[in-house]
Amino acid sequence: AHSIARPSDLKKSRPWVWRDDPVFPELMKIVGANGVPLALIVIDLRRFQVVNGTLGHATGDRLLEQMATRLQNELRGDDRAARLGADVFGILRHGVDPKTAGQAAERLYQLMETPFTIDHTPIEMEAHCGIATFPALADDGVQLLQRAELALNQAKADGERYEIEIPFLMKL
């Protein structure tokens, strides 16, 4: 199981929160609090249901735990991560703007180049990412999440590894 942060834990060493946890809106308030540009990268694991269906839910759970560990090891300073859904993760990365967001996504893909190993079985995974940045096209944390999810859906529809927010998506 992943650690679920309490409000007092937000600035401590436990960066994981669940989207439906009461602390999630508080985490979103961090957006813009210090005026530093940041990006929300939403990561959707591709074919995760295949892992659950063929190798079992216990294997799927262990894969998610390994993914969480890899992402947690990638966090810097004030960065935060959350499990947003069954096979969806998010990273709130400070100091990333629209020009550097692609580099941040590529770094996340490098984390997945090494197959996950569960019970001596290598499992190769891929993902789609949606990226939104603050303050470029989002005014607050809720809007940032909406924009990142729109970009994620566009990446899936186009078969791309990632999509960075683009203005025409923001006008929907």
Question: Do 140 and 32 form a contact (C-beta atoms < 8 A)?
Answer: yes
Which helix H or strand E contains 5, and what residues bound it? none
Catalytic one of 21, 87, 97, 158: 87
Integer-rounded Cα Rg, in Å, for the chain is 16
Residues contacting 60, CB < 8 A, separation 6+: 48, 51, 52
Angle in degrees, 0-180, between the axes of helices 57-74 and 101-113, rounded to the nearest 10: 130
d(CA 130, CA 25): 20
Is 87 catalytic? The answer is: yes
Nearest to 50 by CA among 100, 124, 158, 104: 124
Which residues are identified as catalytic?
87
